[in-house]
Each structure stands twice: as structure tokens, then as C-alpha cells.
Amino acid sequence: MNPKNSTSDGISHRHWDKIEKLAGEIVAASVKEDFTMMEIQTEYLFDALDELEAIYGKVPSLLATKGDFMPEGQDPVPFWTEAYALAVERDDPKNQLLTASSLADYYFQKKRFDLSLKWIDAGEHLLALVPDEFEAEAFKVLRDQIEHG
């Protein structure tokens, strides 16, 4: 990874900072239950992601972020599975890990515990390559909730 890049798939700090700022604004609006602002900021985020896709092409970070902020009622799974496949193809275990985490949590929320466990297993395997205490704890909590109710 080039030290000038912010993501493991090559997006610059300058570009990724804008995505993180917009994502933070969506989360802040969510906490305040300001659904109008969430919708507006989500549109801005998707526009920014599309702009970066025009620069960088389809890369895992952009696709996974679209999945992470997919509006209610729209299916994020195609974005995450494409992000994961691209991360595998690019030998990018960091994006594989983050995408596996999103998929594990999504399927847990949908009560598809078989699929959640599949992605937990994938994520836990990736932790050997990309140690991440936050993701390790997230996988542990999900697994415990599935196995022990």
C-alpha cells in the first residue's frame, strides 16, 4: 500500500476524508433521528462515491461503503459481495475483513444465522492476516449471540 493512500485499495487521503466526513454526518443525523438530513447526506455520499468511482474505478472500499449506507429497503448484499470478490482478486485482506464484518452483521440482523456464521468464519480467518481488535470483538459478540442466544 502506498503511504500516500488512505485505503488499502489506493484511495487518497484527500478523497477518503470527504467520504468519512459524509459518513459521520449520516451517523450524526441518525443519532438525532433527523431522517430528512440522513436522506440528504446519503445522497451526497452516494454522489461522492460515484465521483470517486469515476477516478478509481470499482474498488472494494467504494462498493462496501455503498453497501454500508444503502437506503432502507434496498439490498446492500450485491455491493458487499462484489467488494469482497474484488478484495480477494486484489489480495486485499483489510477490505475482505471489513466486508465480511458487514455481511456477518447484516445476516445476523436478518436472522440468517447460517450465513452470518459463514461470514464470521471468513472474518475470523482474516484476522490472522489483518489484526483488528474492534472486528475481532464484533465477530465474537455475533458468534456468542448465535450460539448461546
Average pLDDT per block of 10 residues along the chain, 149 residues long: 71 95 96 95 98 97 97 95 98 97 97 98 97 97 94
Q: Taking the model in full, what pTM does it have?
A: 0.92
Task: Give the pLDDT score at 11.
Answer: 95
In a domain, 8, yes or no: no
Q: What's the number of domains the chain is made of?
A: 1
Task: Give the pLDDT score at 33.
Answer: 95
| 41 class by beta-carbon count within 10 Å (0-12 exposed, 13-18 middle, 19+ buried) | buried
Give CA 122 to chain center in angstroms: 15
Q: Which run of H or of E encompasses 4?
A: none
What is the CATH number for 62?
1.25.40.10
Tell me how many degrees the CA angle 94-27-35 measures, rounded to the nearest 5: 140
- Give the separation between CA 145 and CA 113, rounded to whole angstroms: 10
Q: Give the 3-state secondary structure of residue 123.
A: helix
In a domain, 5, yes or no: no
Range of the domain at 40: 13-148
Q: Give the 3-state secondary structure of residue 86.
A: helix
- Give the separation between CA 31 and CA 24, rounded to whole angstroms: 11
In a domain, 137, yes or no: yes
Task: Give the pLDDT score at 4.
Answer: 57
Instruction: Give the length of the chain.
Output: 149
- Single-letter residue type at 114: D
CB atoms within 10 A of CB 101: 25
In a domain, 57, yes or no: yes
Which residues pair with residue 5 across a beta bridge? 12
- Give the separation between CA 129 and CA 114, rounded to whole angstroms: 24
